[in-house]
Amino acid sequence: MTNFMKHSLTALALGFFCILFWATSETKKSENNEATTTEVAATETETTSEWTCDVCKTKFSHNGIEIDRNGDCKTIEEPLQGFLCSCECAKEARKKSDQTYEEVLEKASYQADNDCEFQSDNDVLMYLIGKSFTQDGGSITIKFDESGANISGLQYQWMSYTSLGGYKGKVKLSSTDPSRPNGTMTLYVSCREKSVTDGQIVLFLN
């Protein structure tokens, strides 16, 4: 073998090992970049969301507070998100809701059903399915069916329904509309007044 051929083979071997080293280094660099990207994404996911309380306008980061059928305050469970930061604000919101409701009832014309009663949670659901409600003097409508409710064109699905005793009940619905992926709605039901309300607007049975 001539010296020229020996030098040529040596050069080829060196070139091969250089290319192999470069390829290995690039692979490790890519893996490191992917790991860094994953870590950054995980950090961003863990960032805590903040919400504004409907009553006191304070920022908070928990799931919110609500009042149960016994009048006690409790933390809302995942995946629901409420917008009342404390027991005091939840009670204040309920008080305002009751006041608004009574004021609307005084102005509206309806025929009370004094014999109705929600003896169980399922009674609330059965009462609403197939019924439509409309805002008195307004344009908001709600139609309930087996899957949930259509609220002025936005579709919601059932999350829970609860009897509050006597003629009162409460239902929770979550939005299935892409424009409101995390939207929830709590409505109070009265079979006596044949109405539903979110605490601000009252709708009556059609």
Residues 116-174 have pLDDT tens digits of: 999 999 999 999 999 999 987 788 999 999 999 999 998 999 999 999 888 989 999 99
SS3 of residue 36 by DSSP: helix
Q: Give first-to-last CA distance, the chain, whole Å.
A: 103
Distances (CA, A) of 53 to 77, 101, 181, 189: 17, 21, 20, 24
**Residue 37, C-beta contacts closer than 8 angstroms, at least 6 positions apart:** none
Alpha-carbon distance of 57 to 86, in angstroms, equals 11
pTM as predicted: 0.58
pLDDT digits (tens, 9 = 90+) for 3-44: 444 444 454 444 444 444 444 555 554 555 555 555 544 444
Give the distance, in angstroms, between the CA of residue 139 and the centroid of all CA atoms in the same chain: 24
12/114: higher pLDDT = 114
Alpha-carbon distance of 41 to 49, in angstroms, equals 15
pLDDT for the residue numbered 136: 78
**Residue 137, C-beta contacts closer than 8 angstroms, at least 6 positions apart:** none
DSSP character at residue 147: S
Q: How many Cβ atoms sit within 10 Å of the Cβ of residue 39? A: 10
**Residue 166, C-beta contacts closer than 8 angstroms, at least 6 positions apart:** 117, 118
Please name the residue ranges forming H helices in the chain.
3-45, 87-107, 121-128
Alpha-carbon distance of 113 to 140, in angstroms, equals 23
For residues 67 and 94, is the Cβ–Cβ distance under 8 A?
Answer: yes
Please name the residue ranges forming H helices in 46-60.
none
pLDDT for the residue numbered 95: 82
Alpha-carbon distance of 199 to 160, in angstroms, equals 18
Q: Which two tokens stand for residue 16?
A: 């091969």
